[in-house]
Structure 1
């Protein structure tokens, strides 16, 4: 018996492989992820007032988050393409930050945590892209802007 762990994404010869989930039964699954982008208070006020040059920041970020969820399998090498049955996005705008929570649901053979994480990170990146002009300092840098706290809040798998 070997002390080596059984690797699921790499063969014995070191080749990358996708896990075979073909024999697993379908089950209802849900994953919820969250993250935050920290911004200058003046930028947050401009988001609230919809006064940014590029347009409605949260509407565009919501579309970006949903699109990222649907395309996760194209960006995470060993993710399966799964049937997304629902995506929910929620933004909470504070004085100096925007929180994004993304919930993803599927019925299938594998979970949807990576899809929820992709939704959060892309949605927050879209916020950053939409507010870049407002966040830049005199040197063209982003001293107050950062994405933090990206995490899975919950995941659920119903028994088949």
Structure 2
């Protein structure tokens, strides 16, 4: 058993929202609304429990990566015969916050159960679900279906590696293309995309500082996107696994 390897993922702003509901007797709801639950203010305690649960997600679930939480909020809605909990969890990380949002809601509902178990033996936690998530790969990843690529490499082994990644992205190969990728040899670039190059260099350095001299260059030449990769299997795999999904975004925004 092992966790998912997320070392090739990039850190982006991510958010997840979750929902849960617990059914209660009307008499229990009345006590909650009047703040007469013996253990104290149930609504505020439930919010705090949800925040605590979000922070402990990585400890509770063995395959869930511990990630930094930049924002956690819980909303509690007390209805006639149930109590609803909404969670929002946000941060900048390599993986999403779905489990943190779901754990926040679950912990909050368990707190309601704990605070009311002496008052209500009919409570039922009916539903816990993810409402939405954003900021991950699905938001910015774009395949290369229909994109024509001219791939040049003297080293056949390295060419095959890049070709396999491009095929997986859906690209087709042609002499006249909108995307030119060269492994080892320089191609003329009229306008380099400095912002992307800096991000690539930063992530590359963090993975392997010893190889910092082997740059990856990205830019435009007339109407074609140019990508120049060094003759390094490690660098080629790093580029496609971490930034391969961005190529399609660059082309469609041209």
Unaligned runs of 5+ in 2: 141-245, 247-254
Aligned counterparts, 1:1-160, within 5 A: 16-135=1-120, 142=121, 144-157=122-135, 159=140
List gaps (5 residues or longer) in structure 1: 1-15, 136-141
| Residue in 1 that maps onto 2:181 | none
Q: Distance in 2 between matches of 1:148 and 1:115?
A: 19
Other structure's SS at 1:64 match? helix
Q: Which runs of 4+ in 1 moved over 4 A?
A: none
Query: Whole-Å Cα distance in 2 between the matches of residues 67 and 92 of structure 1?
Result: 19
Give the Å deviation of 1:57: 0.6
Number of residue equivalences: 138
Alpha-carbon RMSD across the aligned residues, in angstroms, is 1.2
Structure with bigger gyration radius: 2
When the two structures are superposed, what TM-score results if normalisation uses the length of structure 1? 0.83
Pick 1 or 2: higher relative contact order, CA cutoff 8 A, min separation 6.
1
- Post-superposition shift, 1:59? 1.1
CA deviations 1:39-94 (Å, max 9, x no partner) are 00010010010111111011111111100100100011111110101011111110
Q: When the two structures are superposed, what TM-score results if normalisation uses the length of structure 2?
A: 0.53
Per-residue deviation at 1:100?
Answer: 0.1
Higher helix share: 2
Secondary structure in structure 1 of the residue aligned to 2:118: helix
